[in-house]
Amino acid sequence: MPEKTDHQMMLAVRDGDLDKLGHLFEKYHKQVYNFVLRQVEDPQSCEDIVQEVFFRMLKYRHTYRGDGKFKTWMYSIAHNAKIDHFKKARHRQDLTGEIDGVASTLPNPEESFERSSRHTNLHRALGRLSDEKREVLIMSRFQNLKYEEIAQILDCPVGTIKARVFRALKDLKTLLDEQ
Q: How far is CA 92 from the centre of its chain?
A: 22
pLDDT in tens, 30-43: 999 999 988 887 88
Q: What is the reported pLDDT for 90?
A: 65
Q: Enumerate the domain spans of the chain.
A: 1-97, 111-179
- CATH for the stretch 1-97: 1.10.1740.10
Q: How far is CA 2 from the centre of its chain?
A: 30
Q: What is the reported pLDDT for 14?
A: 93
Predicted model pTM: 0.64
Answer whether residue 151 shows pLDDT above 80. Answer: yes
Dist CA 79 CA 35 (whole Å):
9
Please check whether the domain covering 111-179 is classified as CATH 3.40.50.720. no
Q: What is the reported pLDDT for 100?
A: 41
φ and ψ of 42, to 5 deg: -120, 110
pLDDT in tens, 162-177: 999 989 888 888 888 8
